[in-house]
Amino acid sequence: MDLRKIVGHRPLLSVGASVIIEDERGWTLLQKRRDNGCWGYAGGSVELDERVEDAARRELLEETGLVAGALELLGIYSGPECHFSYPNGDEMSYVDIVYLCRDWTGELRPQPEEVDELRFFPPDALPEPLSPPIRRQLLDWAEQRLRQPR
């Protein structure tokens, strides 16, 4: 927020750490975001000197109440699809490092400031609207999941 006081709404580059949670059915946990009303997964910006995996675990816990066990790298996403303007006018260009987690514990507890709802969805029935800067990541996950033998 201190940097925003200096640069205003101009685009900033940010490294994101995200987690796609998968349950025993192969469904993913999505959250309805409070800021834009779109669906997405848990994630956020990596803080200075923070390890990316630690940031992913922290964001998951903060936003959902879940604790991640083993994390598997799903992919690293960047480019025009990861450019996003927030409702307040702030622009971000993300490099999103996305992990898949099938090993988690805890009770669902949405973070009231950021999350309106938490719900699991099957890969062939993702809700709309998906949050624009993470749409490609979720569709990649769904495609991979649907190709796996049942």
CATH number for the domain spanning 140: value is: 3.90.79.10
* Beta carbons of 123 and 147 less than 8 angstroms apart: no
- How many angstroms separate the CA atoms of 147 and 89, rounded? 38
3 state DSSP class of 61: helix
Q: What is the pTM of this model?
A: 0.92
The residue annotated as part of the active site, out of 47, 72, 117, 143, is: 117
Question: Which range is least confidently modeled, 29-33, 34-38, 98-102?
Answer: 34-38
Secondary element (H or E) of residue 93:
strand 91-101
The whole domain housing 101 covers 2-147
Mean pLDDT of 101-128: 97
Structurally, the chain folds into a number of domains equal to: 1
User: pLDDT tens digits, residue range 47-68?
Assistant: 999 999 999 999 999 999 999 9
d(CA 123, CA 40): 13
Does the active-site annotation cover 117?
A: yes
CB 63 within 8 A of CB 19: no
Handedness of CA 23, 103, 114, 13 (dihedral sign): negative
